[in-house]
């Protein structure tokens, strides 16, 4: 089988550059943005609109952080998404599994002592094949390996490993999770040219907090239903009703339970596991799974109220349109 064409010598550096680019944009304020030089060199190899090329040259030669208006920044992001989507068409299949073998060597040498040979977890480290690590986006997984987690035993490895080595470790972790490696070059052309959907994606993954409970494209939380294709599956009327009144119709398997303990304390969350001795409840925010022994439980009842908060009602009319546009793009 013919190997896909390589860009700039290796798919891993390309993917790392894409990650740096996305981080630069996510950290940009509403009036400024800067690009790392390796990304500049990469983008210089592809055919770009003149407006984007001017922005790039200005950011390199005039200022480390160029100042542009909020509107221009949005256009800048849209143009870059288009470029990334174009690159992804030829690079994705090559980049997805890049570095897994190298990552396994590094993982076995430095990571398995805490996280286990197969990511099953040890006394010192959490499992990587279940729970939060499995739900992290590719970008967040790279960030955790690079920067560590405050208040835990997970240290920052950015000072010990190169960007490519961190990419390799993350790729191997994805393989342990049964996923096809990292893919930072995903085709996002579905919303790249849709400013409303793009703004809705920022709301979904940001201030609205939807991704804490819901997932799409194998990323996000698992308290609420998976949202891939939700617009076509539900139709506009049902989707809008679910946003406006979450408790009106609760998806099967996602209802809340109320556990009343013998000491009078009550706990509300998603019902996860049940046995003769104990019941397991996932917290409303999805971050904790708590086991309650039945000899201390007085009652377990269904809740008529959805775990989904009325976030949609708190948004402005414009934000509601943006979020709806994003959900319809999935």
89 shares a domain with 214: no
Q: How many domains does the chain have?
A: 3
171 shares a domain with 60: yes
State the residue range of the domain holding 204: 194-249+309-329
In angstroms, rounded to a whole number, what is the distance separating the alpha carbons of residues 171 and 33? 29
101 shares a domain with 23: yes
178 shares a domain with 85: yes
238 shares a domain with 156: no
The three-class DSSP label of residue 293 is strand
10 shares a domain with 85: yes
265 shares a domain with 134: no
DSSP line for 163-222: HHHHHHHHHHHHHHTTS----SS---HHHHT-HHHHHHHHHHHTTT-GGGT-EETTEE-S
In angstroms, rounded to a whole number, what is the distance separating the alpha carbons of residues 141 and 130? 14
For residue range 245-269, list pLDDT tens digits in order. 999 989 888 889 999 999 999 989 9
- pTM above threshold 0.75: no
CATH code (residue 210):
1.10.760.10
Last residue of a domain, one of 143, 171, 192: 192
118 shares a domain with 2: yes
For residue range 41-65, list pLDDT tens digits in order. 444 444 444 554 444 444 444 444 4
For 34, the enclosing helix (H) or strand (E) is none
220 shares a domain with 138: no
Largest CA distance in the chain: 70
For residue range 100-129, list pLDDT tens digits in order. 778 888 999 999 988 888 888 876 788 887
Instruction: Please indicate whether residue 55 or residue 234 has the higher confidence score (pLDDT).
Output: 234
Last residue of a domain, one of 177, 192, 207: 192
């Amino acid at each position: 089988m013919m190997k896909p064409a390589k860009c700039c010598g290796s798919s891993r550096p390309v993917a790392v550059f894409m990650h740096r680019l996305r981080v630069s944009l996510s950290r940009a304020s509403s009036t400024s943005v800067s690009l790392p030089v390796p990304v500049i060199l990469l983008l210089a190899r592809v055919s770009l609109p003149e407006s984007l090329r001017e922005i790039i040259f200005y950011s390199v030669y005039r200022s480390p952080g160029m100042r542009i208006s909020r509107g221009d920044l949005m256009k800048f992001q849209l143009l870059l998404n288009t470029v990334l989507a174009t690159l992804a068409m030829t690079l994705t299949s090559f980049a997805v599994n890049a570095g897994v073998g190298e990552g396994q060597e590094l993982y076995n040498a430095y990571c398995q002592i805490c996280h286990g040979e197969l990511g099953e977890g040890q006394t010192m480290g959490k499992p990587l094949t279940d729970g939060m690590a499995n739900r992290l986006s590719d970008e967040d997984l790279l960030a955790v390996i690079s920067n560590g987690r405050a208040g835990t035993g997970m240290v920052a490895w950015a000072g010990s490993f190169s960007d490519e080595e961190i990419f390799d470790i993350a790729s191997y972790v994805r393989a342990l999770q049964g996923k096809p490696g990292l893919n930072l070059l995903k085709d996002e052309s579905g919303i790249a040219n849709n400013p409303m959907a793009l703004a809705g994606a920022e709301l979904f993954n940001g201030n609205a907090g939807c991704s804490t409970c819901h997932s799409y494209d194998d990323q996000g939380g698992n308290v609420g239903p998976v949202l891939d294709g939700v617009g076509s599956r539900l139709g506009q009327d049902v989707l809008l009703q679910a946003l406006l009144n979450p408790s009106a119709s609760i998806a099967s398997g996602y209802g809340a339970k109320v556990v009343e303990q013998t000491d009078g304390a009550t706990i509300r969350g998603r019902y996860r596991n049940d046995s003769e001795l104990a019941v397991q409840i996932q917290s409303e925010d999805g971050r904790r799974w708590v086991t309650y022994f039945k000899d201390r439980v007085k009652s377990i009842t269904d809740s008529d109220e959805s775990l989904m908060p009325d976030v949609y009602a708190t948004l402005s009319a414009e934000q509601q349109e943006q979020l709806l546009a994003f959900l319809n793009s999935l």
